[in-house]
Amino acid sequence: MCAMHWDPVREAVSLRDAMEKLFQDAVVQSTWIGGTGSSQVQAVPVDVYQNEKEVVVKATLPGVLPDDLQVTLEKDHLIIKGEVKAEPTVNGSYLVRERRAGTFGRVIPLPTEVESATIDASLEHGVLTVTLPKAESVQPKQIKVRTI
């Protein structure tokens, strides 16, 4: 019979991971977070991935115009903020009104240092793509092996 030893560090790490996932799921799953009425802030769904040379963030922003969007890098966080402007009230009454207007935002922690001077952001078909080149100091370096 093999006795299993309790590892408090492993348990703490798994609890932290579970809490992080719970928080992320709650923020991304809920379309509107915080505030009431016109002060509500919409959460922005994102995909974030990296390769050896860059970190890429893709955010779904249907109906948003580039002039209504603000993308900022603050230390090791990418901040996406903006506003979906309300359409004028229609003559008559709505039968269904699910499309919301108002402010939206998301703060994305970056996994590594990036080169702020060469960040690229584009908006195409309602998808914002932000490409953040990794800093030279954190990119892998190929080391040539020589014979003696």
Mean pLDDT calculated for residue range 131-146: 86
Tell me, what CATH number does 71's domain have?
2.60.40.790
- Report whether pLDDT(21) > 90: no
Angstrom distances, CA of residue 133 to CA of 15, 19, 42, 75, 114? 32, 30, 28, 14, 6
Greater confidence (9 vs 136) lies with: 136
Domain that holds residue 129: 9-89+99-138
Angstrom distances, CA of residue 134 to CA of 26, 37, 54? 29, 40, 5
- Report whether pLDDT(30) > 50: no
**Is the residue at 20 inside a domain?**
yes
**Is the residue at 80 inside a domain?**
yes
pLDDT digits over 78-115, tens only?
999 998 887 777 787 878 877 778 888 999 999 999 99
Contact 112, 121 (CB under 8 A): no
**Is the residue at 4 inside a domain?**
no
**Is the residue at 94 inside a domain?**
no
**Is the residue at 2 inside a domain?**
no
The closest alpha carbon to 84, from 24, 44, 28, 26, belongs to 44
Structure letter (DSSP) for residue 119? -
How many folded domains does the chain comprise?
Answer: 1
**Is the residue at 42 inside a domain?**
yes
Answer whether 0.75 is exceeded by the pTM: no
**Is the residue at 58 inside a domain?**
yes
**Is the residue at 110 inside a domain?**
yes
